[in-house]
Structure 1
Amino acid sequence: MPLPVQLSPDVLYAAGAAPSTPLGPFEDSAVAWASWTTLMGFVGLVALALVAAGPAARRAGARPAAAVTVRLSRAAVLLGIAAFPAALTGLAHDASASGGYDYGAAWDSLYDGTNGGRLSGLEVTLVLVGVVLVAPLTVRGIAAGAARVRLLAGGLAAGAVALGTTRFPDAVPDDWGRTSFETLMWMLHLLGGAVWIGGLLGLLLLALPGAIAPADRGVFWPPAIRRFSAAAMGCVAAIALSGLFLYWEHVDGLSQLTSTMYGRVLGVKILIFGTLLLLGAFNQFWLHPRVDALRAGGDRRPLHSLLARKFPAVVAAETVLGLSVLFVAPFLHGSARNQAYQAGLAAHSAVDLDDLPKLPAKAVSASTWVWGTSETLLVIALMVAGYLLSGRLARRRAAGVAASTATAAATGQGDLVEA
């Protein structure tokens, strides 16, 4: 419940205009978007190569394993290199007193002795370390060697810490427990988004011509998609749980989603995220089982057609929506709680808009932990149930296709199977 703020009687005699909560300059959000997309894209592409596409390609043989690693590594290196000027541009924009870009001041702020300077320095340094580690894998001979996993793991660790520095506290906190928990939630939010969105971008790159030889597609794609689906559902759980915490922290009730600028921007973000979830469900419960069924039936022609048309289109749409979420996020300023509270104060007092007080952070109670634990268990249960259900659908469809193929072969009716 909001805590009351005592105002002196001499400021309660007149009503004022509601405080303005603008979205902020479009340029600021574009700069922030470039920084987020490059850094998170690097992390997501490396994670895809390490935990999903790479292991699936190794099952298909040395040639597809090298081809997949090289394509994803080259894209990751490009994004990692771009992340350096993107982060420096953001620092330069913040350092400029006139709203422009002071790159000299931004460069001087790196490792300037302050905690903020150290974090900024670590961000740009670690992403370049990640690039250096992943860069050798752009050569096919090295990508096929034993060092592949170690280089990818090192690059992923460097990129993940670089991403974390954007949300690590830059001052000694008064409440270590709460600050540590908030930082953990932000890490779940950022890493979950990075692995999901960057992974979608990587799948789109692999679906383009020239990445996987036609003879290897039937062996590569079903396990690759299945592995990524498991990772993506873990990312959805991480984003949902951290998003629920951030919602609890910054919003008091559903009415603030429409009555405040923060709430309206958050509402747009939730709508885009919901649409992304629907497309993911389409992939999980229809497209992926269909790919497995076609492969089980030995029907390579429909499988190639499905991968060449429907799969890239759906993944491209998901990638665009994911990038749209990252573009909307920088428009979230302050909190809906404070915006609603300050609007109420301004409507019933003559307090200067620049001096309006803010609500204290919400207090954590026993019921907060009970609700949070319940939500965590529910989200995890839904993700596990969804993954198991989609696997069961895939096996059932594959078994049906295999039986139809056997029947057609026994009766001499041909081997073209419709799934």
Structure 2
Amino acid sequence: MAAAAPSTPLGPFVDSLVSWTTWVTLMGLVGLIALAVLSTGPAAARTAPAALPAVTTRIAWASVVAGVLAAPAVLTELAHSASKSHGYDWSAAWDSLYDGTNAGRLSGLEVTLVLVAAALVAPLTVRSVAAGRARTWLLGAGLAAASVALGATKFPTKVPADWGRGSFDTLVWMLHLLGGGVWFGGLAGLLLLAVPGAVPTAGRRAFWSTAVRRFSVAAMVCVAAITLSGLFLYWAHVDGLTQLVTTMYGRVLGVKILIFGGLLLLGTFNQFWLHPRLDALRDEGDQRALVTVLLRRFPLVVAVEVVLALALLLVAPFLHGSARNQAYQAQVSEQSATPIPAKKLPKLPAKQVSTSTWVWGTLETVAVIALMGGSYQLSGRLARRRSAAATATPDTTAPEAATPEAAAPEAPAPVATASASLPG
């Protein structure tokens, strides 16, 4: 009689939770610093110089905390992996750092560079430093160190037999991790700044208008990078849609895709509904409605997105192996007359890239970029159209609402799929 097909367990929840803390701290560190470099810092320096120290110090404090927590998180994961009794072998974890192997060097780089990034950003927790010229250099150096630390999690530990394929696989993972880090960490940073009192009242409206516009572009690029890299990883690990429901890897991946889809739906809501209406309210001078949205709807939506992002990072560590191998091993086990130990089950070779793969990949890349660019332009037109309609129909019932602060020089560009929907 044929043996029963082997089950593919998810693995202990504790293992995934330990990995989750590592991903959250590493990606959060990258995203927080990137937010200050790409969005909030330049926006404050350009539109509200008085708010620059307060905005920078708040992001710096969060970055330092993430960096300080990332080092023990990496060590905890190493200790858990080194233990033979599913415990924590701290001595083995510490000794594995820079032990002469490639894996040891990469682990050592992770621990070292997250602490370096935290140390570089730490001076910016002082407002006098945050307002000085050193801000740009410290943030740039900290972002570089944090990015390399995050990338070290997926750098190859062995010399690849095919340098072209190995380099491309590494590039795909870098796009996936850095895109996710900048997007998810940026959302967390925006939530911190949306707390009442985080941004000084003077220039707050102009600051948010510019900050949203800049983060919108960064978020669009991140979504495109995650989507394209995710498509390649799907091609490499899944053979057909049926494996999404017939294998454990496919089911977990399906849950991850659903969560990612929820994030995109929230972004679509902000891009095509919320933000154009906020622009119209601003031009009408409706301060009460704007404050209501500012203090309630925006933080709530971003908080939901942050929770979904954390859930997505919790699901990701449950992805073990590949759907291709799980389906193949189940078939081999069913055809075998005697049970085969899980460790001795055969594995399929990696998929080979062909000409058709490059053709489809190029078409997918062009399609994703066109979709993102077209969505950005379309939502911008909606915002300008609603603002023009609001300006052409002044509100004569509440003239006192048209205060100087309510007026903004121009309507901000639309938000990206990351729900950066805070009004100017």
TM over 0.5: yes
Query: Within 2, Cα distance between the matches of 1:141 and 1:294?
Result: 36
Q: Is contact 1:222-1:291 (8 Å) kept?
A: no
What whole-Å deviation, never above 9, does each CA across 1:298-320 have from its counterpart, x for those lacking one? 44332222110100000000000
Shift of 1:146: 1.1
Q: Which amino acid aligns with 2:75?
A: L
What whole-Å deviation, never above 9, does each CA across 1:156-212 have from its counterpart, x for those lacking one? 110000000000001111000001000000000000100110001001000012201
Counterpart in the other structure of 1:10: none
Matched, 1:289 2:276: yes
Matched, 1:339 2:326: yes
Q: How does 1:62-211 map to 2 (within 5 A)?
A: 62-211=49-198
Counterpart in the other structure of 2:222: 235
Matched, 1:396 2:385: yes
Q: Is contact 1:45-1:199 (8 Å) kept?
A: yes
Shift of 1:217: 2.6
SS at match of 2:203: helix
1:265 equivalent among 226, 233, 252: 252
Query: Within 2, Cα distance between the matches of 1:146 and 1:300?
Result: 36
User: Could you say what the CA RMSD is over the residues aligned between the two structures, in angstroms?
Assistant: 1.6
Q: TM-score, with normalisation over the residues of structure 1?
A: 0.93
2:376 equivalent among 382, 387, 412: 387
Question: Identity of counterpart residues, as a percentage?
Answer: 67
SS at match of 2:399: coil
1:414 equivalent among 390, 399, 410: 399
Q: How many residues align?
A: 402
Counterpart in the other structure of 2:309: 322
Note closer, same or farther for the CA distance 1:58–1:303 as it changes in structure 2 (3 Å cut).
farther
Counterpart in the other structure of 1:276: 263
What whole-Å deviation, never above 9, does each CA across 1:109-163 have from its counterpart, x for those lacking one? 1000000000000011011110111011111111111111111111111000000
Q: Is contact 2:243-2:327 (8 Å) kept?
A: yes
Query: Within 2, Cα distance between the matches of 1:415 and 1:230?
Result: 35
SS at match of 1:173: coil
SS at match of 2:9: coil
SS at match of 1:112: coil
Q: Which amino acid aligns with 1:312?
A: P
Q: Which runs of 5+ in 2 are unaligned?
A: 403-422
Q: Is contact 1:256-1:340 (8 Å) kept?
A: yes
Counterpart in the other structure of 2:291: 304
Counterpart in the other structure of 2:408: none
SS at match of 2:393: helix
Query: Within 2, Cα distance between the matches of 1:54 and 1:135?
Result: 16
SS at match of 1:214: coil
Could you tell which deviates more after superposition, 132-141 or 346-355? Answer: 346-355
Q: How does 1:205-220 map to 2 (within 5 A)?
A: 205-220=192-207
Q: Is contact 1:91-1:106 (8 Å) kept?
A: yes
Counterpart in the other structure of 2:340: 352
Shift of 1:222: 2.0
Shift of 1:416: 4.9
Matched, 1:56 2:34: no
Q: Which amino acid aligns with 1:20?
A: S
Counterpart in the other structure of 1:377: 366
Q: Is contact 1:222-1:288 (8 Å) kept?
A: no
Shift of 1:59: 2.8
Shift of 1:415: 5.6
